[in-house]
Amino acid sequence: MSLNDFLPSAHVFNHVIVRLRIAEATYWLDPTLPSQAGALQQVAIPHAGWALPLTTETEALEALPVAVPVELVHCEDRIVLGPKANSPAHIERRIDFSFWAADNVRHRIANDGTAKLAAQLLQELLGTWPRAVETKPTSFEEDSRTNQLTVRCTYDIPQLWSLARDRRRWAMSLVDTVTNKELAKLQVPRRHNAIVLGRPRSVRWRATVEMPRRWWGKGWEQVLDAPGLRFTSHLKMTGREVAIERELIVGAWSIAADQTDVYLGVVTKASQNVTQLFARVEFGRIVCPNNPWRRLLASRWRRAALLAIIFMIYLIAINIR
């Protein structure tokens, strides 16, 4: 039910915002927020639905503009691996915060300083890789016009690979700590009221791993789509690069109660935020377990046949000479 369908009541309105009109444009601002940057076009709409302008000419509620999803957080990890299982790995992380996420980070920096925020980011990384060390001071770049705040971090990890459970392969874990935080788990799975999703937004995490040599694999592409909610995940392998990307798009302020099962499906998928990559060690080097040449030589008879073919080619070459 929309707010304009309710009977008039003082209990419906519990917040005051500002309507700003410049020429033909109208902007809605929330002066109670601690800090807001960017042009007026970048300021996020504070509330959904309707407002009651306190003017003499007001005769009805005024509809606020329809909010569209904006990219709120975009995290890019680039990981460069060494040739061996015990080789150190180098990680470069870039996080772009925009709109109210940039405002929140700016507020944290104003209260606690950049050193504490950098320490918190490192602590989050240590949850995945306990031996990670910061190799360069975390840098902060700000574009006040577009209200974007960029954080750059650089880390080294002494050893990224660990022996897998099957004791035959080695594994490394990639953890998405961005998309799994956006949606709350429901305490009561069955609902009669709509599920509030918050402001329309999108968050994205991408990790690109540079392997020491060519990597093979089929990868995947998964899409969960619902009215007002979309989650995508895909893994691609191209040459020496393995790239995984996950994105959550919240397209509406709420989702209907009869879509609870879909909501729970997206929450479950987003919470499965660990991706494992596997490798084999041959002569001390990390190699792809899906190497087609390795599969070709996996059988004793295949090896014998390949040697026979090579020998025949050698004999033919001698006869031609």
Q: Does the pLDDT of residue 301 top 60, yes or no?
A: no
Region 281-309: mean pLDDT is 70
pLDDT for 250: 95
Region 133-159: mean pLDDT is 93
pLDDT for 294: 58
Task: Give the confidence band of 300 by pLDDT, cuts at 50, 70, 90.
Answer: low
Q: With contact defined as beta carbons under 8 Å apart, do 72 and 101 qualify?
A: yes
Q: What are the beta bridge partners of residue 80?
A: 90, 210
Q: Does the pLDDT of residue 316 top 60, yes or no?
A: yes
CA distance 66 to 228: 13
CA distance 314 to 113: 70
pLDDT for 295: 54
| Range in 35-44, 213-222, 238-247 the model is least confident about | 35-44
118: part of which helix (H) or strand (E)?
helix 114-126
Q: Does the pLDDT of residue 126 top 80, yes or no?
A: yes
pLDDT for 87: 94
- 212, two tokens: 């020491």
Angle, helix 114-126 to helix 99-112, in steps of 10 degrees: 110
Q: What is the CATH number of the domain that holds 258?
A: 2.60.120.1130
pLDDT for 246: 97
Q: Does the pLDDT of residue 190 top 60, yes or no?
A: yes
Please tell me the total number of residues recorded for the chain in this structure. 321
Whether 212 and 124 share a structural domain: no
pLDDT for 205: 97
Given 158, 173, 199, the domain boundary residue is 158
202 within some domain? yes
pLDDT for 275: 93
Whether 172 and 258 share a structural domain: yes
Angle at CA of residue 124, ends 149 and 106, nearest 5°: 25
pLDDT for 11: 66
pLDDT for 272: 92
CA distance 251 to 182: 13
Q: Does the pLDDT of residue 123 top 90, yes or no?
A: yes
Query: Which residues have a Cβ under 8 Å from the Cβ of 216 and sit 6 or more positions away?
Result: 237, 288, 290, 291, 292
Given 158, 175, 201, the domain boundary residue is 158
pLDDT for 221: 94
Q: With contact defined as beta carbons under 8 Å apart, do 242 and 209 qualify?
A: yes
Per residue, what are the HEC states of 13-26?
CCCCCEEEEECCEE
Q: Does the pLDDT of residue 130 top 80, yes or no?
A: yes
Terminal Cα-to-Cα distance of the chain (whole angstroms): 89
Region 196-208: mean pLDDT is 94
pLDDT for 52: 83
CA distance 185 to 145: 36
What is the percent of the chain where pLDDT is above 70? 89
| Range in 45-54, 176-185, 271-280 the model is least confident about | 45-54
> Within 10 Å of residue 135's Cβ, how many Cβ atoms?
12
Whether 184 and 281 share a structural domain: yes
292: part of which helix (H) or strand (E)?
helix 292-296
pLDDT for 202: 96
Which range marks the domain in which residue 303 is found? 291-320
Q: Does the pLDDT of residue 158 top 90, yes or no?
A: yes
Whether 256 and 295 share a structural domain: no
Task: Give the confidence band of 238 by pLDDT, cuts at 50, 70, 90.
Answer: very high
pLDDT for 251: 92
Whether 197 and 253 share a structural domain: yes
Mean pLDDT of the chain: 87
Whether 235 and 175 share a structural domain: yes
CA distance 191 to 256: 9
Region 254-261: mean pLDDT is 88
Q: Does the pLDDT of residue 315 top 90, yes or no?
A: no
CA distance 32 to 36: 10
Region 113-139: mean pLDDT is 93
Region 114-126: mean pLDDT is 94
Count how many domains the chain has: 4
Whether 194 and 312 share a structural domain: no
